[in-house]
Amino acid sequence: MMPRVAVLFGFGINCDHETKAVFELVGAEAQRIHVNRFISGDTNLADFDILAVPGGFSFGDHLGSGRLLGNRMRFAMRDALRDFVDAGKPIIGICNGFQVLVKTGLLPGPDAGHSPDFVQRGSLGLNDSGRYEDRWVTLEFDPNSPCIWTKGMTRMTCPVRHGEGKYIMPTPQALEALSTTHQLTVRYVDPSTSVGEGLSDTVLPYPMSPNGSMRNVAGICDATGLVFGLMPHPEANYARWLHPDHTRGTAPASEGNALDSWEGEGLQMFRNAVEYVKQNR
């Protein structure tokens, strides 16, 4: 049976259609499910293998991005979410979805060996520029991260589209701890560096770092590597014809062939999770 993906929507989530599409392109069965269907019990989260919280502007980002949707999930879906993670099922949050997972406390989450406790440990603040921007960035992955979503991935380009993407931990120790456990999964890098040598703890200048994140963090995972969130939009580079360089003939190719030679770099992330489910259930 194909892995089943629940793509959350409602209340201002707006990347649900494309997030559903990218999972389907890599061989999953994906459904858009309104948040309230899980809350009301009409639909059971346990029936799914993967949960995706897409990008958007849930509740208009008022009172802090992801806060209000995060609260709904934290209070009304608490048990279902904990059971999902404890069952070893992957969750991804993209952009607003990442903000939601951080505000619910699922990311970075508790130390290894503990169930989710829904305590917020990090945050995402307003970009240093003070502006919402849509621009393409270059990302590099920590090869030692436990994250199942990014296995084998080294570098990719895709857009950021946010006003509140500056990743913050309350103390240097807390940040260092995440670094030690390789939970700082993906970071903004200078595109002129060689692949594998871009990761830097020094904040890069705008716009290479679009937001001023600590250590250029673009996305993090929990201690299990199953829950992953990032500000940039990998689904927005599912096809090379979406890459800004495609008319120049220099849009980076992907090893995958979901769209013949036109698969974009972003699709591999979703394929990783689908393959993980196939192998581990």
Partner 1 sequence: MRDVRGDVVRRQLHADHGCNVHRVRSICGYLIQGETTAEAIAARVDDLFADPIIEHGAANTLFLSTDLFDQTPDMVVTVGFKPGVTDNPGKAATDGYLTLFPEDTEAKISTYTTYAFYGAGDLDPTWLAGTLHNGLIERALVADQAACQAGAWPALDYPTPPEQVFIQPKTIDLECDDETLERISTEGLLALNLEEMHAIQAHYRDEEIRALRTTHNISPDAPTDVELECLAQTWSEHCKHKIFASRIHHVDHETGEDTVIDSLFKTHIMTPTHDMQKDVDWLLSVFHDNSGVIAWDDTWSVCMKAETHNSPSALDPYGGAMTGIVGVNRDILGTGLGARPIANTDVFCFGPPNWEGTLPDNLFHPSRVLRGVHAGVRVGGNESGIPTVNGAIVFDDRYIGKPLVYCGTVGIMPRHLPDGRPSHIKTPVAGDIVYMVGGRVGYDGIHGATFSSLELTEESPSSAVQIGDPITQKKMVDMILEARDEGLISCITDNGAGGLSSSIGEMAEYTNGCEIDLATVPLKQAGLSPWEILVSESQERMTVAVRPADQTAFEALANLHEVEATPVATFTSTGMFHVRYGEETVAYLPIDFLHDGVPQLQLESEWTPPQQRPFVTPNEADHNELLSSMLQRPNIASKETWVRQYDHEVIAQTAIKPFVGVERDGPGDAGVIAPLHGDPHGLVISCGIAPRYSDIDAGAMAAAAIDEAVRNAVCVGLDVDKMAGLDNFCWPDPIESVKTPDGRFKLAQLVRANRELERVCRAYRLPCVSGKDSMKNDYGSGKDKISIPPTLLFSLFGDHPDVRKSATSDFKEAGDRIYLVGHSQQELGASELSFMMRERNPANGIGGNVPLLLNPEQNLATYRQLSTTIHQGWVKTAHDCSEGGLAVALAEMCIGGRIGAKVDIDGTGDGDLWARLWGESLGRIVVAVKPEHESDFLATMKGHPTTILGEVTPSSALEMVDGETTLISSDINVLADAWKGTLDMTGGVA
Q: What is the CA radius of gyration of the chain?
A: 17
- Report, in Å, the least distance between residue 252 CB and partner 1: 14
CA 91 – CA 98 distance, rounded (Å): 10
Strand partners, 160: 135
Asked whether the bond before 90 is cis by omega within 30 degrees of 0, the reply is: no
What six digits make up the tokens of 203?
């904040």
Residues sharing a CB contact under 8 Å with residue 279, sequence separation 6 or more, in sequence order? none
Active-site hit among 15, 164, 233, 265: 233
What six digits make up the tokens of 183?
């939970």
Residues sharing a CB contact under 8 Å with residue 40, sequence separation 6 or more, in sequence order? none
The question of whether 235 is a catalytic residue gets the answer yes
The DSSP line for 217-249 is: EEEEE-TTS-EEEESS-GGGGSBGGGSTTGGGT
Q: Does residue 218 touch partner 1 according to CB under 8 A?
A: no
**Candidate list 27, 29, 82, 121; residue touching partner 1; CB under 8 A:** 121
String marking each residue 187-206 x if it binds partner 1 according to CB under 8 A: -------------------x
CA 212 – CA 128 distance, rounded (Å): 6
Q: Which amino acid is at 141?
A: F
Active-site hit among 140, 235, 263, 265: 235
Q: Which stretch binds partner 1 (CB under 8 A): 82-90, 133-141, 188-196, 213-221?
A: 133-141
Strand partners, 217: 187
Three-class SS of residue 97? helix
Q: Does residue 132 touch partner 1 according to CB under 8 A?
A: yes
Q: Does residue 236 touch partner 1 according to CB under 8 A?
A: yes
**Candidate list 27, 88, 110, 125; residue touching partner 1; CB under 8 A:** 125
Instruction: For the segment 241-260, give every residue that binds partner 1 (CB under 8 A).
Output: 241-242, 244, 246-249, 258-259
Q: Which stretch binds partner 1 (CB under 8 A): 140-148, 185-193, 194-202, 228-236?
A: 228-236
Instruction: For the segment 29-68, give every residue that binds partner 1 (CB under 8 A).
Output: 34, 36-37, 40, 55-57, 59-64, 67-68
Three-class SS of residue 262? coil
Query: Contact residues for partner 1 (CB under 8 A)?
Result: 9-15, 17-18, 21-22, 25, 34, 36-37, 40, 55-57, 59-64, 67-68, 71-72, 75, 120-123, 125-136, 159, 161, 168-170, 206, 212, 233, 235-236, 238-239, 241-242, 244, 246-249, 258-259, 262
